[in-house]
Amino acid sequence: MTEQTTINEDSTINAFLIHAAMLLHRYGTPSHRLERVMSHVASSLGVEAVFLYTPTALVISIKNGEAENTVVRRVETREMHVDKLFQADDILAKLERKQITLKIAATRLREIDQASATYPFWVSAIACAIGCGAIAALFRGSPAEVLAAAVIGMLTAVIERIADRYSREASLIHPAAGFVAAILSLAYARFIVPIDDRLVTLAGLIVLIPGLTLTVALTELAVGHLSAGVARLAGAVVTLFTLLLGAAIAWQFAQEWRDIPEKIIAPESWMQWIALLVAPIAFAIIFQARLPQWPVIFAVSMLGILVSRSVGPKFGAEVASFSAALAVGCGSNLYARMRGRPALIAMTPAMIVLVPGSFGYRSLIAMLDHETIAGIEIAFYTIMIAMCLVGGLLMSNAVVPPRRVL
């Protein structure tokens, strides 16, 4: 009877560890953070466990006494879901402190996994439109270009929604979104008002461009998680290519529509400031952060933006990127230490404005236009900026170590 009870307890612990790791994987936790936090949880439960993470699979080896079990799970990584990670981290922290039982923790994790989206779709779509419009303003787009980018951003959200409903065709989302964004930008330039259609296409697709994925991949490579880093990096490159594929088809299909004005209308300075103020909140909603988490997201995002814009003119983009990432990392880790919450809550939305995904997109456009040297130069610059961001984030963990792993 005692032996049977022990077997049942071991099975319960194993099932909990597998489910918790899959939930963290599914909602965008980087490999180095997932492996560390799950190792801590396993130790608190009195078992020895090893977790191996890649963007599409999770390998878990759990040792209970003399018995060792290894399981492999196929998991599709989604975009970062700040609220679900917040709740999951809270449950795992309480479990480690023995404030709740394993059964209660398992039940709550299932409830989190099955919970509906934090915001209704229309709120997320509006946030996507505002975020894309803000990015167009930060790219120094004219008012007409900001409006066009906002409209395309909302349509991008609709395309994502359709892809979620019909998951079998999810692989078509990037070329379809690229085609729709490019063709609408060209039509806007041809039939409404002349604009820089490629700037608008880029801004309208910004939520799909994998700049954050690229930075996370390089971070994983930098800390020695080679398999996860290489896989994530390859996924980011493929995503860029598929986005550009759809846009390139549209450019060939309607190339006679292209009509860039000879004199681009310069944006008003107030547009830049409004964009800086609304972008952090828009991306907080896109990443499903709740209202109580907005103030710290806004504060850390503004800190990174202001540091970048203050340092850049004097020391260059590389130093500015490093300094901004250092500021964002320190601010996020300080929040994690003071509130006992995951640093990812503030860090992820703040980094989206800093990551160099747009440069990768522009590099591919240059190569498509047979400007090979320029394309290679921009690609190298993209990697340099991304590595500066990674360096700043890693340095921030040494300057202000977070109490929580996430």
**Residue 170's pLDDT is what?**
62
Using the predicted structure, report yes or no on whether residue 164 has a pLDDT greater than 80.
no
CB 301 within 8 A of CB 278: no
Alpha carbons 95 and 183: distance in angstroms, whole number = 52
State residue 261's pLDDT score: 58
**Per-residue pLDDT at 1:** 44
Model pLDDT, residue 18: 87
pTM above 0.95, yes or no: no
Which ranges in 254-371 belong to alpha helices (H)? 269-286, 294-315, 317-339, 344-352, 357-368
Q: Left (φ > 0), alpha (ψ -120 to 50) or beta: where does 46 sit?
A: left
Is 301 a residue whose pLDDT tops 80? yes
Q: Distance between CA 194 and CA 43 in Å, rounded? A: 62
The amino acid at 343 = A
pLDDT at 205: 87
Name the strands in the sheet holding 67-74, side by side, starting at the edge strand that comes first in the sequence: 48-54, 57-64, 67-74
Return mean pLDDT, the chain: 82
Domain parsing of the chain, residue ranges: 2-114, 121-399
Please state which of the ranges 41-55, 109-123, 225-239, 350-364 shows the lowest mean pLDDT.
350-364
Cβ atoms < 10 Å from Cβ of 115: 12
Taking the C-alpha atoms of residue 112 and residue 115, their distance in angstroms, rounded to an integer, is 5
- C-alpha 149/C-alpha 206 separation (Å) is 10
pLDDT score of 266 more than 60: no
In angstroms, the CA 28 to CA 212 distance is 11
User: Looking at per-residue confidence, does 302 or 67 come out higher?
Assistant: 302
Distance CA 242, CA 400 (A): 39
Q: What is the mean pLDDT of residues 300-323?
A: 87
Q: Are residues 174 and 237 in contact, defined by beta-carbon separation less than 8 angstroms? A: no
Give the least confident one: 1-5, 142-146, 217-221, 243-247: 1-5
Average pLDDT over every residue of 349-357: 74
Average pLDDT over residues 289-317: 87
Mind listing the pLDDT tens digit for each residue in 122-155?
899 999 999 999 888 888 888 888 999 999 999 9
Residues ≥6 apart with Cβ < 8 Å to 4: none
% of the chain surpassing 90 pLDDT: 7
What is the C-alpha to C-alpha distance for residues 355 and 155, in angstroms, rounded to an integer? 23
Average pLDDT over residues 262-286: 77
What is the C-alpha to C-alpha distance for residues 33 and 107, in angstroms, rounded to an integer? 23
